[in-house]
Amino acid sequence: MTWWCQPFGYTHIHPRDTDVVLGGTFDEGSWDTTADPAVARAIIARCTVHVPELRDAETIGHPVGLRPVSEGGIRLEAGTRSLPGTLLVHNYGHGGAGVTVSWGCAAIATALVTAATA
């Protein structure tokens, strides 16, 4: 994945097996899940500056992703629930960095579960 923060907005290009995901925005406090055609055009314009070959690519859709952020940053810790013997692992608040940190956070969450159940 490639990220750029430029004067006209956040830009990411995430190649996958059969398609490419283009983004993004950083609209703090916005919870609207309706795609805005003007925002989509702006994202495509920013991405094609970096990868001109994308200019003529077929558009499959315009999904809108909400990326909640915790004020204190990522919460990744083991806790307990009111049900005795039940482990709860908190792993949230990643914001737009979720895909970037997902493997590391998953490894830590797995280690927390393994340690608690050993």
Instruction: State yes or no: pLDDT of 1 exceeds 60.
Output: no
> In the structure encoding, which two tokens stand for residue 60, read together?
């499959």
Model confidence at 45, pLDDT cuts 50, 70, 90, reads very high
Under 8 Å CB-to-CB from 106, ≥6 apart: which residues? 91
- Pairwise pLDDT comparison (79 vs 20), residue with the higher score: 20
Distance CA 50, CA 23 (A): 12
In order, the DSSP letters of 80-113 are E-SSTT-EEEEEE-BGGGHHHHHHHHHHHHHHHH
Alpha carbon separation from 27 to 54, 65, 90, 117, 118 (Å, rounded): 24, 11, 25, 40, 43
CB count in 10 Å sphere of residue 45: 13
Model confidence at 5, pLDDT cuts 50, 70, 90, reads low
**What pLDDT is attached to residue 6?**
57
Question: Do 80 and 52 have their domain in common?
Answer: no
User: What integer is the mean pLDDT of 84-88?
Assistant: 84
Mean of the per-residue pLDDT values of the chain: 85
Looking at the domain assignment, is residue 52 inside a domain?
A: yes
Amino acid identity, position 7:
P
- Pairwise pLDDT comparison (73 vs 33), residue with the higher score: 33
Under a CB-based contact definition with an 8 Å cutoff, are residues 38 and 26 in contact? no
Looking at the domain assignment, is residue 103 inside a domain?
A: yes
**What pLDDT is attached to residue 89?**
92
Percentage of the chain modeled with pLDDT above 90 = 42
Looking at the domain assignment, is residue 69 inside a domain?
A: no
**Residue 48 lies in domain:** 2-56
Question: Do 6 and 52 have their domain in common?
Answer: yes
